[in-house]
């Protein structure tokens, strides 16, 4: 559950920054639309992105991963089709928005990664304590 909340939060922050940086991307300045778009983007990335990457695997390999930017742009465009208040503009603004979102997610990753490592350490400590209690 916490991972879903972290994904939702990072998606919302990335969408907000993308709307500030890229002019045609907008959510109508409604917080509810931003949260819904973050949630839908997380679900689209979870459900469809692996399949699209698998189908475009030759292009991903030949472009050394650069075509993943287009896959991310497609996920952003699909999100805009599901969420009526989210507008991404044309092709280049969608690609630019995907690039901005990628940069923001990469910038936020160290803080998210630290919390996951900490959770794993706590979990392994609990398991070790349980083993010691059994013996």
pTM of the shown model: 0.80
Q: How confident is the model at residue 4 (pLDDT cuts 50, 70, 90)?
A: confident
Query: What is the per-residue pLDDT across 114-124, written as a single tens digit (0 to 9) for each?
Result: 456 666 777 77
Over residues 97-108, mean pLDDT: 94
Q: Which residue has the higher pLDDT, 89 or 124?
A: 89
Over residues 111-135, mean pLDDT: 71
Cα angle 46-52-53, degrees, rounded to a multiple of 5 = 90
Q: Tell whether the model's pLDDT for residue 126 goes beyond 70.
A: yes
Predicted local distance difference test score (pLDDT) of residue 114 = 47
Which range (24-28, 35-39, 112-116, 131-135) has the least confidence?
112-116
Number of domains in the chain: 1
Neighbours of 16 (CB within 10 A): 17
Residue 64: give the domain boundaries: 2-134
Own/partner pairs for 117-123, CB < 8 Å, 24+ apart?
119/2
Name the helix (H) or strand (E) containing 9: helix 2-21
Predicted local distance difference test score (pLDDT) of residue 118 = 64
Q: How confident is the model at residue 110 (pLDDT cuts 50, 70, 90)?
A: confident
Neighbours of 130 (CB within 10 A): 9
């Amino acid at each position: 559950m916490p991972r879903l909340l972290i994904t939702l939060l990072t998606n919302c922050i990335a969408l907000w920054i993308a709307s500030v940086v890229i002019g045609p991307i907008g959510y109508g300045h409604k917080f509810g639309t931003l949260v819904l778009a973050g949630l839908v983007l997380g679900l689209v990335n979870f459900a469809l992105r692996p399949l699209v990457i698998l189908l475009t695997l030759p292009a991903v390999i030949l472009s050394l991963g650069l075509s993943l930017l287009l896959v991310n742009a497609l996920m952003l465009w699909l999100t805009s089709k599901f969420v009526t208040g989210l507008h991404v503009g044309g092709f280049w603004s969608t690609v630019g928005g995907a690039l901005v979102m990628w940069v923001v997610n990469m910038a936020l990753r160290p803080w998210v990664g630290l919390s996951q490592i900490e959770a794993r350490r706590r979990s392994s400590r609990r398991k070790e304590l349980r083993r010691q209690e059994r013996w």
